[in-house]
Structure 1
Amino acid sequence: MVLSLLVLAAGLLGAPAASAAPVTVTNGSQFTDTSGALVHAHGGGVLKVGAYYYWFGENRNADDTFKAVSVYRSADLKTWEHRNDVLTQSSAAELGRAKIERPKVIYNSSTGQYVMWMHKENGDDYAEARAAVATSSTVDGNYTYRGSFRPLGVHMSRDLTLFQDDDGTAYMASAARENADLNVYRLTADYTGIGALVQTLWPGSYREAPAMFKRNGVYFMVTSAATGWQPNQQKYATATSVAGTWSGLANLGDSTGYGSQAAYVLPLQGSSATSYLFMGDRWAGAWNRPVVESRYVWLPLSFPSATTVSLSWYPQVTIDPATGVVTGSGTGSAYETLVARHSGKCADIPGSSRGDGVQLTQYSCNNGWNQHWSVLDLGNGYATLIARHSGKCLDVADASTADGAAVAQWACNGGTNQQWQAQAVGGGYVRWVARHSGKCLDVVSGSTADGAAVKQYPCTAVANQQWLRKAA
């Protein structure tokens, strides 16, 4: 899936971008573009053209049907400008009601065309399992839809990726046979068709979400298991040639990919290093919400040896496009439990409800997702606490400043009543202080009972306002 870095004439690209300064990206967050709208580039890939990175991805309707393949442009990988919806429902009759997933784009220097491949379904089910192709003479122009098909006329094709080798040979890898197999195909010289089936990797292993890249002559393939929207163990394999013998699958990251699924691996080449950035989707389908509410997880890959790769969690990642250096920072885990000091019980949304306004309680710790919290650093000394099972934020009801005001989950809206400061109180414990009121998350009356309410009260030194953050 790694794409060669292309340098085109300035006349094709407009004014060059200024040299980008280092930026910091918060994991588990949603991005907004320069107009303030959410970035919808799910399942996507990145192509560097000149001084800019172009991020293509899925932009779906609320019912998860196809709306557009959108492209965004950035010089620093954080400040994204929406450039165009390059493919839409009106681009072709068969896209009027469809599902388009995992769009990837590469450039063919011989034909002067940008070529997009994607997974296409009919919008109702996953029975079509087809690959689709579109082309454009400009990276962010309108793409001409070339149709959909099963590779070589017979192979199912679902999650897919593209990889362009150093010699210009291009490959497409896609999940086949109801996801049981992963097929690797060599594309035709113009990149718009299938030249040959190179090989089938790990038959019967049920892998999807492929992401392919090359480092120092070694090919890497990252994939996930096929578990629907639920995150799972990412794995990788290596080979010294695309057509050669690939290694067995080895684990990458934790058992859930830190709550995400691989979309792309971006090589970031700069003046002093070449780093490799894992780009994953934290799919909102995991909490029964539409794809447009999904979040992103970006993490630096590290390489203990020439043929091994590892992935560690960092709440934040700093990217320096000029030098090519990508570093992780911060403490904590992808998800945490919050354990009350006085009772040893966990902050819990009762019944795993996904409804707005369901009030927070304490309950015996059981590792349920309704006790898992994503602590999203806002960069201002505060964080939002997002319930894993619902994707909703911990909220002081009605932004009340009163003692005893209810604390509940609510759709995230950026309000100061959804922002919390972790104040260390010693022994590894913190107090969670609401920004809007300055009051603390408190287990009412110091109760040790299951189901005891958690509300806001003036901050004191009591143990029922002290919480231990533990990796979930």
Structure 2
Amino acid sequence: MNNSTPYTRFRAGSLQGLISMLAVIMTCSSVIAQKDSTGTTNPVTYDSFSPGALWYDTNGELINAHGGGIIYANKKYYWFGEKRGRSAQAGVNVYSSQDLYNWKPEGLALAANETDTTSDIARGCLMERPKVIYNEKTKKYLMWFHLELRRQGYSAARAGVAISDKPEGPYTFLKSFRPNGNMSRDMGLFVDDDGSAYHIYSSDENYALRLAKLTDDYTAPTTRDSLLFRNHREAPALFKYRNKYYLITSGCTGWTPNKATLHVANSLWGPWQLSAENPMKGPAAETTYGGQSTFVLPVRGKKDAFIFIADKWNPRDLKDSRYLWLPVQLDTETPYVNWLDKWELKFFNAAKK
């Protein structure tokens, strides 16, 4: 992926070149924060999604929340994701929004430990795929993430847990571990209708996908931990629709995008059946539009409305990895995702007509 801003070259006196340049300037001005004569930044607001485009926060900075997940609390959405740079990862960022289009940076929800090199989350560790859920009983917010220890590459394969009284944090790191002794890498969390919470995770060098029920306080796995299927899958994104559970996953090809699959089950414990060899449709569907699944978001206040969220990774500059947000379409027996260059939340209203 080219990280630089595209500019169209044109020869002096070329009308077509001038038109092209003006078009690019108009496009860029719709997303880049502007400064007035006093030097005050006036970010442009969004009223639609443009999958794969540059996406700026309300401060005019690129949103930096990769491999993330979203919760709704206090009449706001909170988006958690990996804070990525060109070198070390600093922790987990959080943003807030009331409309899903425009996101306010709330800072680091969980920061790497800068002073204690013996800490599991000492600077130099990797905190990936952060997800947050709320515990109604304890009134606490719990963050789980895939943790790789400092200077150990990807050999640790642990789950990390942190806790907070507020959705935006800051979160206090509690512990890390291998769930029931199993390797734990790409992961997600899911809270069912009865309040039971689950940790879904890639294990056994990503050749196994497992599910563990969490304790009542959501801080640890119980011993009810089961193999869902063995098929070299990662990037699990789980959602529930009409009393069935659906699971989108990715193949394991490193930074190279690949074809997604969709599994379905009547119970979280399975049996899980392949529902679609590829739930993506449209241009570049065979490579999940150049991305990889991370989360499926139920849209608040809209019945049977889900947003498929994926990362379009850029290994040369992970901070510039883009976000793919697309509606899950439910007009057939099998849910699917179709490519849209641009769309709005009113898509879900039109889909039900």
- TM-score, length-scaled by structure 2: 0.80
Secondary structure of residue in 2 paired with 1:184: strand
State the shift of 1:236 in Å.
Answer: 1.0
| Partner Cα distance (2:344, 2:292) in 1 | 21
- Deviation, 1:199, is 2.0
Partner of 1:137: 165
Amino acid paired to 1:267:
P
For 1:65-464, list aligned pairs within 5 A. Answer: 65-90=88-113, 93-95=119-121, 96-124=123-151, 125-152=153-180, 154-203=181-230, 205-248=231-274, 250=276, 251-253=278-280, 254-270=285-301, 273-285=303-315, 289-306=316-333, 308-320=334-346, 325=349
Q: Among the aligned pairs, what percent are the same residue?
A: 39
Q: Does 1:48 align with 2:65?
A: no
CA positional deviation for 1:324: 5.6
The Cα shift of 1:187 comes to 0.5
Change (3 A) 1:149 1:249: farther
Q: In the alignment, residue 262 of structure 1 is paired with which amino acid?
A: S
Aligned partners of 1:312 and 1:283: how far apart in 2? 20
| Distance in 2 between residues matched to 1:208 and 1:197, nearest whole Å | 21
Unaligned runs of 5+ in 2: 1-44
**Deviation (angstroms), 1:68:** 1.8
Q: 1:167 to 1:22 in 2, by over 3 A?
A: farther
Given candidates 60, 64, 72, the residue that maps to 1:36 is 60
In 2, Cα distance between equivalents of 1:176 and 1:129: 8
Secondary structure in 2 matching 1:26: coil
Select 1:59's aligned residue among 80, 83, 105: 83
How far is 1:309 from its partner?
1.3
Structure whose alpha-carbon radius of gyration is higher? 1
Asked if structure 1 preserves the Cα contact closer than 8 Å seen for 2:329 and 2:337, the reply is yes
What is the CA-CA distance between 1:50 and the residue it aligns to?
Answer: 3.1
User: Corresponding residue for 2:51?
Assistant: 27
Letter of the structure 1 residue corresponding to residue 147 of structure 2:
K
Query: How many residues get paired?
Result: 297
- Once residues 39 and 123 of structure 1 are traced to their aligned partners in structure 2, the CA distance between those partners, rounded to angstroms, is 25
Contact 1:22 1:76 in 2 (8 A): no
Write the distance in 2 (CA, Å) between the matches of 1:179 and 1:244.
19
Deviation for aligned residue 1:30: 2.6
Partner amino acid, structure 2, of 1:266: L
CA drift of 1:305 comes to: 4.1
Q: Is the 8 A contact 1:70 1:85 kept in 2?
A: yes
Cα distance change, pair 59–325 in 1 and its aligned pair in 2 (3 A): farther
1:342 maps to which residue?
none
Cα deviation code 1:408-428 (max 9, x no counterpart): xxxxxxxxxxxxxxxxxxxxx
Q: What do the CA deviations read for 1:203-250 (whole angstroms, capped 9, x no partner)?
A: 1x1100001110111111110001001110011111111123111252
Q: Would you say the 8 A contact 1:269–1:324 is kept in 2?
A: no
Residues of 1 paired with 2:74 and 2:205: CA distance?
39
Residue ranges of structure 1 left out of the alignment (5+ in a row)? 1-20, 328-472
Match of 2:120, SS?
helix
Matched-pair contact (CA < 8 Å) for 2:110–2:170: yes
Contact 1:45 1:264 in 2 (8 A): yes
Give 2:243's aligned amino acid: G
**Equivalent pair of 1:263/1:281 in contact (CA under 8 Å):** yes
Q: CA RMSD in A?
A: 1.9
CA positional deviation for 1:90? 2.5
Which segment drifts farther, 179-188 or 23-32? 23-32
Shift of 1:27: 1.2
* TM-score calculated relative to the size of structure 1: 0.60
> What secondary structure does 2:96 align onto?
strand
The 1:216–1:22 alpha-carbon spacing in structure 2 relative to 1, beyond 3 Å, is: farther
Is the Cα contact below 8 Å between 2:46 and 2:101 reproduced in 1?
no
Q: Which moved more, 1:97-106 or 1:311-320?
A: 311-320
SS in 2 for 1:37: coil
